Structure 1
Amino acid sequence: MYIKLQFLLILTCCSYMTKAQIRITDPGKVAERQAENRANQKVNQTIDKGFDKVEEGIGGLFKKKDKKTKEEPSAGKIEQSANTSNKIDNTAATESESVAVGNNAKPTLKSYSKFDFVPGEKVVAIEDFSQDAVGDFPAKWNTNSAGEVVTIAGTEGKWLMLGPEGVFYPEFVTKLPENFTLEFNLATTSDFSFYSGVVRTIFAEVANPAKSFSIWKGFDGDKQKGLELGLHPKDAGGQQGIANFNVFEGPAESIMKNEKSFPAFHVPDHNVVKVSIWRQKSRLRLYVDDYKVWDLPKAFNPATNYNFIAFSNQGYHVETDRYFISNLRLAVGAPDTRNKLITEGKFSTTGILFDVNSANIKPESYGVLKDIANVLSENATVKVKVIGHTDSDGDDAGNLALSKKRSEAVKEALSKDFAIDKSRLETDGKGETAPVSPNTSAEGKANNRRVEFIKL
């Protein structure tokens, strides 16, 4: 009992000392940070000795098991590397891998046949944390808690690890129109406790974002308007995830709430999911991968001036539990495929996504392709030219060849998966030669990576 109480006291002390950011505790850095904590915080000698006694045990939580004796894949553990610090061995699925329970097959367009998500017309914000150093809290974000940029083994790019209970928001989002889409990747550590809180995505009208820290931990003491979408990777049995929904129009009173289950994303090797949120005036759709969690016609209040996006972590029951987010993509506008293609003679979309430097179409492109196929099916005499475009990364010749391959891939998909006669489809590629935005920002490049459909 004495050792347990001492251990809890130590964890409480460590949590108190954490300020601007949290550091992932890997064994190779425990001693160095402990020395700093002792010097800066003047922790009393008794607690120091207790920390020394349990230090080895804490470090053991993050050590990888020997591959020969490991019974099942494990995620969210620290992988000590000579070249990369704070690297998380998540062994989680990449974006193109399946997250379905008991299904390790790579998803295809056909497997996404019920996915009707169509992203907004223009990309206005992208956050992949590429400009931030591993170990830092991202420069364009704010929080009243702690967090840091990390990498996850088995995935591309960087992630924001959400620290203890708090609110995390991008300061560059200051306005949300009546039609927008928000997409992001969400990951968890593998042994995530059912008793740890949900991660909430918040859309709100706020006068001062900094004041919203305390409000969005419980909506206390202020008049705020907004809604929140909560996700948890599993229920008590582990076979279902948990989603909850709340609309607030005042200090602490929910005027609309809902909760339901969806396919769990807490399973070995599949701890990464794509979350897609679609607002059309008052209507809200929420998807986790290809599963539509909600389609609510009266969720957003048209009279509310939504100008704030945040993620709120309700707290971890287990010290090693963590949520991670990455690849945020905010797009605005309501695509009008039928009107633009048939009436205006041209439709352009950034919603057909490809693997990096590849013509392989990602399955989450299904909703856009289906929308285009429906228009072509309803207008059986219309022929179109499919034109691929790239950003300026890479050499000119390579981009030109890639854009042509991507237009051919779209043609094949429309024919194979949607029964559009190939004779109605011509293809071409422009590479990087016809940008619609400067290639000087992530948002500009995303808008240039597009597919155009020209009525012939």
Structure 2
Amino acid sequence: MHMKKIANWVTCVVLALAATPAVSVAQVRINDPGRVVERQAENRANRKIDQAVDKGLDSVEEGIGNLFKKKDKKAAETQSKPGEQPVNTKGNADNDPAGSSDDAATADTAAKPGKSTLKSYSKFDFIPGEKIVAIEDFSQDAVGDFPAKWNTNSSGEIVTIEGTEGKWLMLGPEGVFHPEFITALPENFTLEFNLATTTEFSFYSGYLRTVIAEVAAPAKEFTNWKGFDGGKKNGLEIALHPNNAGGTQGLAAFNVFGEDGSSLMKNEKSIPAFHTPDHNVVKVSVWRQKTRLRVYVDDYKVWDLPRAFDATRKYNFIAFSNQGYHEEANRYFVSNLRLAVGAPDTRSKLITEGKFSTTGIHFDVNSATIKPESYGTLKEIAVVLTENIGVRVKIIGHTDSDGDDAANLVLSQKRSEAVRAALSSDFGIDGSRMETDGKGEVEPAAPNTTAEGKAGNRRVEFVKM
């Protein structure tokens, strides 16, 4: 068999599989599929005949996804890194271990080397809102579908990314993506979500804009927030881009629009890059306190603006606006959106009321390892204990009702012990002032029938003794 015939045969296998409805693309890299197929076919044709045949047969058995894998040894060794992982459009069930359904929020930290520690977040002062009112992890949506509770004037679909937990919304070409279930944003709230990009993200592709606005008719007017188009008013945009022209830093831009659509405030600055092979997933945290706005990307505080919000506006609208991709391979992915309202008053509730409960301490999946973004909440508790040297507390862990009762009980106890250890080792609180306990799922704060209820039940309580 001649080399040319081998090349044609491999190409036909790829095209036949891609065109067959019964064969879904199990694992496709976050790249331009067309270009990757062409490159793979050429590479295979240049190999030894027996290798080409063997690989071709393997691809038939294992699915077209394997034809998209890089053969660079270094890339193969780092396949656990977010951004280098395949997108699984075939779908798989979410693995939510006992009592840790929200731990997928930053599962990338478990997958990438050089995992962040609490100390690396030492300047992170973000504290989530007191009450969780909306959770979007796309668990109710099928892979391949556009999410049922969202609207768009573009396209998109639910995917899974190997090496991360849960499901992601892959944003399509230029458009606006609006979670219709968010209808009120009070003067104190926090918004958190995970943002992922493809690794080789073109500088010429657009920003991912997070929109917060007052909109009279969201179902009709959400398209006003598309790219550079007009119609934007009574709101603000937080725009993030994974890299600048040199590829060493990311970019962030901020814009506030008034009643007439004019720009009232704007800013642009460099931020740490998040397009590199080992850092393609970031946690974005937005915090409103009346007129004040803070924005974080992972532990980096991008802005702290005292007059970003208009106190007279009744903000009721959130959207993601994608300006457009320079190359088809460039993609944005969002996941684990979490909206919480209210301003936590740790000092008053723990000292005056004798009890403080928080959902702001997060753990790795099915683990008692504390996630680094918990630093702000832990620091706030440590400050209260430092200022009130005579106060002793009991730290109580709680879970939702998913999973085995006994396992939940053990996990909740271990997590309370981990919190005690962190307060002692990282913040200098005397361990003798803290006792620990775990209640598992037996004392829910809300019904375990919704994602929001379950998230509220996965909490840590501090009770003054």
- Give the TM-score, by structure 2 length: 0.81
- Please state how far the C-alpha of 1:31 moved relative to its aligned partner: 2.5
The match for 2:419 is 410
Aligned to 1:331: 340
Relative distance call for 1:330 and 1:80 in structure 2 (3 A) is: closer
Q: Tell me if structure 1 keeps the 8 A contact 2:85–2:163.
A: no
User: In the aligned structure 2, how far is the partner of 1:185 from the partner of 1:27?
Assistant: 34
What's the CA shift for 1:211? 2.6
2:220 aligned partner? 211
- The alpha-carbon distance between structure 1 residues 71 and 350, as it changes in their structure 2 partners (threshold 3 A), is closer
User: Aligned with 1:265: secondary structure?
Assistant: coil
Alpha-carbon distance in 2 for matches of 1:82, 1:185: 19
Offset of residue 106 of structure 1: 1.0
Specify every segment of 5 or more residues in structure 2 that has no aligned partner in the other structure, as ranges: 1-13, 22-31, 40-66, 93-105
Residues 250-270 of structure 1, C-alpha deviations (whole Å, 9 max, x = no match): 343111000111110111121
Which residue is equivalent to 2:447? 438
Label 1:366 to 1:433 Cα distance change in 2 as closer, same or farther (>3 A): same
Change (3 A) 1:73 1:385: closer
Q: Contact conserved, 1:224 with 1:249, CA < 8 A, in 2?
A: yes
Alpha-carbon spacing, 1:219–1:385, altered in 2? closer, same or farther (3 Å): same
Aligned-pair distance for 1:70? 5.0
Answer with 179-188 or 210-219: which moved more: 210-219
Does the C-alpha gap of structure 1 residues 170 and 336 become closer, same or farther in structure 2, counting only changes over 3 Å?
same
For residue 16 of structure 1, what is the aligned residue in structure 2? none
RMSD over aligned CA atoms reads 2.5
- For residues 347-426 of structure 1, the aligned pairs below 5 Å read 347-426=356-435
Residue by residue over 1:272-314, the C-alpha shift from the partner in whole angstroms, topping out at 9 and shown as x without a partner, is: 0000110010110000000000011110111111000000000
Where do residues 149-164 of structure 1 align in structure 2 (5 Å cutoff)?
A: 149-164=158-173
- 8 Å Cα contact 1:72-1:268 kept in structure 2: no
- Structure-1 residue corresponding to 2:191: 182
Distance 2:373 2:85 in 1: 30
Q: Check 1:222–1:237 CA distance in 2 against 1; reply closer, same or farther (3 A cut).
A: closer
How far residue 394 of structure 1 moved from its aligned partner, in angstroms, is 1.2
Task: Return the alpha-carbon distance in structure 1 between the equivalents of residues 242 and 210 of structure 2.
Answer: 14
1:447 corresponds to which of 443, 452, 456: 456
Paired with 1:441 and 1:328, the residues of 2 have a C-alpha distance of: 15
- 2:68 matched residue in structure 1: 63
Gaps (5+ residues) in structure 1?
1-25, 34-53, 86-92
Judged with a 3 Å threshold, the aligned counterparts in structure 2 of structure 1 residues 66 and 301 are, in CA distance, closer, same or farther, namely same
Q: Cα–Cα, structure 1 residues 55 and 391, in superposed 2: closer, same or farther, change >3 Å? A: closer
Q: In the alignment, which residue of structure 1 is the partner of 2:303?
A: 294
**CA distance in structure 1 between the aligned counterparts of 2:229 and 2:246, rounded to whole angstroms:** 33
* Alignment match of 2:142 (pick from 117, 121, 133): 133
Give the SS at the match of 1:250.
Answer: coil
1:317 maps to amino acid: H
1:162-213: CA deviation from partner (whole Å, max 9, x where unpaired):
0000000111000001000011000001110000000000001111113324
Shift of 1:79: 4.7
Distance 2:435 2:86 in 1: 49
- SS of the equivalent of 1:366 reads helix
| 1:130, distance to aligned residue in structure 2 (A) | 1.0
Gap change, CA 1:147 and 1:425, over 3 Å in 2: same
- Judged with a 3 Å threshold, the aligned counterparts in structure 2 of structure 1 residues 445 and 411 are, in CA distance, closer, same or farther, namely same
Secondary structure of 1:334's partner? coil
Per-residue CA deviations over 1:224-256 (Å, capped at 9, x if unaligned) read 310010000011111110000000013431110
Which whole-Å CA distance do the structure 2 matches of 1:233 and 1:427 have between them? 42
Contact between 1:197 and 1:317, CA under 8 Å: does it hold in 2?
yes
Q: Is the 8 A contact 2:88 2:162 kept in 1?
A: no
Show CA shifts across 1:315-367 (max 9, x none).
Answer: 00111110000011110100000011011111000001111221111111000
Code of the residue aligned with 1:323 in structure 2: it is Y
SS of the equivalent of 2:109 reads coil
Task: Find out whether 1:224 has 2:216 as its counterpart.
Answer: no
1:31 matches 2:19 = yes
CA-CA distance at 1:80 after TM superposition: 8.8
Q: 2:317 aligns with which of 281, 293, 308?
A: 308
CA distance in 2, matches of 1:275, 1:382: 34
Closer/same/farther in 2, CA of residues 173 and 223 from structure 1, 3 Å limit: same
Alpha-carbon distance in 2 for matches of 1:82, 1:318: 20
Contact 2:83 2:280 in 1 (8 A): no
Paired residues of 1:97 and 1:105 also in contact (CA < 8 A): no
| CA distance 1:266–1:76, change in 2 (3 Å) | closer
Distance (whole Å) between structure 2 residues aligned to residue 254 and residue 215 of structure 1: 15
Is the contact made by 1:387 and 1:429 (CA closer than 8 Å) also made in structure 2? yes
Whole-Å separation in 2 of the counterparts to 1:380 and 1:55: 61
Aligned residue number for residue 242 of structure 2: 233
1:200 corresponds in structure 2 to 209
Three-state SS of the structure 2 residue aligned to 1:321 is coil
Aligned positions of 1:87-126 closer than 5 A: 94-97=107-110, 104-126=113-135
Question: Given the superposition, is the C-alpha separation of residues 64 and 272 from structure 1 closer, same or farther in structure 2, using an over 3 Å criterion?
Answer: same
Distance in 2 (CA, whole Å) between partners of 1:176 and 1:261 is 28
Q: Which secondary structure state, in structure 2, belongs to the residue aligned with residue 285 of structure 1?
A: strand
Q: How many residues align?
A: 400
Please say if residues 394 and 463 of structure 2, whose CA atoms lie closer than 8 Å, have aligned partners that are also in contact: yes
Hey, what does 1:245 align to over in structure 2? 254
Question: SS of 2:221's equivalent?
Answer: helix
| CA offset digits 1:12-58 (Å, max 9, x no partner) | xxxxxxxxxxxxxx96764358xxxxxxxxxxxxxxxxxxxx99657
Aligned residue identity for 1:187: A
> One-letter code of the match for 2:109?
S
CA contact (8 A) 1:222 1:250 kept: no
Cα offset for 1:60?
A: 3.3
Query: Would the aligned equivalents of 2:211 and 2:319 in 1 still touch at CA under 8 Å?
Result: yes
CA distance in 2, matches of 1:268, 1:291: 19
Structure 1 pair 421/394, CA: closer, same or farther in 2 (3 Å)?
same
Displacement after TM superposition at 1:402 (Å): 1.0
Q: What is the rounded CA distance, in whole Å, between the counterparts of 1:147 and 1:284 in structure 2?
A: 29
